[in-house]
Amino acid sequence: MQFIVVLRILGVLLMVFSLTFLPPWLVGWMMGDADLVPFETSFFIAFVLGGLLWLPLRTYRRELKLRDGLLIVVSFWVTLGLVGALPIFLQPTLNLSFTQSVFESVSGITTTGSTVLVGLDNLPRSLLFYRQQLQWLGGLGIIVLVVAFMPLLGVGGMQLYKTEISGPMKDNRLSGRISETAKALWIVYAGLTFLCAILYKLEGMSWFDAVGHAFSTISTGGFSTHDDSLGFFHSFSMELTAEIFMVLGATPMALHYLAMRHGSIRAYGKSSEFKFFLMLLGMLFLFIALAILLARPDSEWLWGMRWGLFTLVSMMTTTGFTLTDHTPWPAFLPVLVLATALIGGCAGSTAGGLKTVRMLLLTRQGVNELRKLVHPHAEFVVKLSGRAISPTVISAVWAFFAAYVFVFVVVFFAMMVTGLDAVSAMGAAIATLTSVGPGLGSVTGNFASASSATLWVGTVSMILGRLEIFTVLVLFLPMFWQR
């Protein structure tokens, strides 16, 4: 293990990350925030801390191994979660505990969007902008991680994607490959954000809200600058825009890249995963629409369709925007819609959950296992986008699924042990592990009343979910630390 290199890289990360405290500072300064000291102090602390790590080690260079990569990834997210909590913790008006601040920060950087804050509408602009930006950075980070890095590691069957976006990358060294891919993804991601912000602005948001919500839409983060989330605007066109860009955010970024490069949407049509994702969305919407029509054949059905579509897209893409709604839908509907977050969006996107490609693979392989009962000696091969999938990948995906279920059950019970009732614990487990954000019961809207223990369980769950579980679990293997 190259601990010294890991530390040097963390130092650089901290110094770069400290620069992200400046845009919120600028926004606050322009919009007249009373107190910008929290961001100044945070910048100073993070930059100096980073410098202190980097300076003595700056000449120490080694090519990294994959195993170092795993350690770096987990350290990145933990460090950013902790240091990102500084500007929140230091807000004099909020008086948040250390635990709450870290929860909020990790919720941002993991694009979860659960919050301990209430009264968002009256918070300092700098802080609101900072939360939105945190999600946007978290989204960018996860894409780079999942597209450039995870395929090399083979985490949860992600070696599937090894060749997907391999066009522009001749460089096989880890660092080279990551920086090339990151550049391509950055352009796509920034372009989509820009488009989304312009549309929100045209539909009537202020520039502040437009940019902020574009940040949390594309990143499928779900933070808002209003307690009422996107429901604050009461605008059907904004909801449609959000729906489209949430879906785009939950689509493999590689597909956007290919479409842009070839000036054609053929890439989307050739992706089994993307088509399966749209099909699932469509089927689930039909089911929900039917349930709404049967339950509310009165004048509320039209609102029901609008609410159903938005909430389904928001949850299944693991964004977590909500519309204010007090209609007494059948009790299973909100639970079902939230549970679609467990399926989640496509791999290689900002979305969380199990990921559509894994669902697709498991479904096909599951049917094959049934077929084997009928024809025990036949060979059945699973194909995705016309390519046969190797047993190694399938095995990794099965294991990932089992690990996901296992961690879900553990988080669920841990949440209950910290004092939540069964329904809230289920909601909290879904909210944090899938990166969707909102839960059920006492954590439906926010985690403001949650105990410290609940918040820590949630924090760990968010990081586990965001880093595809295995990346974190592997660090607990004694073998990982042996030469």
In the complex, which residues of this chain contact its own copies (CB under 8 A)? 66-67, 70, 153-155, 291, 330-332, 335-336, 339, 362, 365-367, 369-376, 391, 394-396, 398-403, 405-406, 409, 413, 416-417, 421-423, 425-426, 440, 470, 473-474, 477, 479-480
Q: Kindly state the smallest distance separating residue 348's Cβ from K ion, in Å.
A: 17
- List of residues 6+ apart from 51 with CB closer than 8 A: 11, 15
Say whether residue 113 binds K ion (CB under 5 A): yes
Instruction: Give the rounded distance of the alpha carbon of 225 from its chain centre.
Output: 18
Residue 128 binds which one of K ion, its own copies, none, with CB within 5 to 8 A depending on kind? Answer: none
> Measured between alpha carbons, how far is 176 from 64 in angstroms, rounded to an integer?
11
Q: Kindly state the smallest distance separating residue 220's Cβ from K ion, in Å.
A: 5
Q: Kindly state the smallest distance separating residue 414's Cβ from its own copies, in Å.
A: 9
Q: Kindly state the smallest distance separating residue 474's Cβ from its own copies, in Å.
A: 5
Residue 191 binds which one of K ion, its own copies, none, with CB within 5 to 8 A depending on kind? Answer: none
Say whether residue 320 binds K ion (CB under 5 A): yes
Which of residues 197 and 443 has its CB atom nearest to its own copies in the complex?
A: 443
Which of residues 137 and 354 has its CB atom nearest to its own copies in the complex?
A: 354
Residue 371 binds which one of its own copies, K ion, none, with CB within 5 to 8 A depending on kind? Answer: its own copies
Contact criterion met (CB below 8 Å) for 348 and 356 = no
Say whether residue 222 binds K ion (CB under 5 A): yes
Q: Which two tokens stand for residue 331?
A: 């009790």
Task: Report angle CA 239, 240, 246 to the nearest 5 degrees.
Answer: 85
116 known member of a binding site: no
Q: Kindly state the smallest distance separating residue 153's Cβ from K ion, in Å.
A: 24
Which of residues 350 and 432 has its CB atom nearest to its own copies in the complex?
A: 432
Say whether residue 249 binds K ion (CB under 5 A): no
Residue 416 binds which one of its own copies, K ion, none, with CB within 5 to 8 A depending on kind? Answer: its own copies
Which of residues 27 and 463 has its CB atom nearest to its own copies in the complex?
A: 463
Say whether residue 141 binds K ion (CB under 5 A): no
Which of residues 199 and 361 has its CB atom nearest to its own copies in the complex?
A: 361
Convert residues 406-435 into a mask of x (bound to K ion by CB under 5 A) and - (unbound): -----------------------------x
Residue 186 binds which one of K ion, its own copies, none, with CB within 5 to 8 A depending on kind? Answer: none
111 known member of a binding site: yes
Burial of 370 (0-12, 13-18, 19+ CB in 10 A): exposed
Residue 113 binds which one of K ion, its own copies, none, with CB within 5 to 8 A depending on kind? Answer: K ion
Q: Kindly state the smallest distance separating residue 372's Cβ from K ion, in Å.
A: 30
Contact criterion met (CB below 8 Å) for 315 and 436 = yes
Q: Kindly state the smallest distance separating residue 261's Cβ from its own copies, in Å.
A: 30
Q: Kindly state the smallest distance separating residue 413's Cβ from its own copies, in Å.
A: 6
Q: Give the binding range for K ion (CB under 5 A) out of 4-12, 45-53, 237-245, 315-323.
A: 315-323
Say whether residue 353 binds K ion (CB under 5 A): no
220 known member of a binding site: no
Strand 383-384 relative to strand 387-388, pairing: antiparallel
318 known member of a binding site: yes
Q: Kindly state the smallest distance separating residue 289's Cβ from its own copies, in Å.
A: 15
112 known member of a binding site: yes
Residues that bind K ion (CB under 5 A): 113, 222, 320, 435, 437
Q: Binding site for K(+): what residues are annotated? A: 111-112, 221, 318-319, 436
Q: Binding site: what residues are annotated? A: 111-112, 221, 318-319, 436
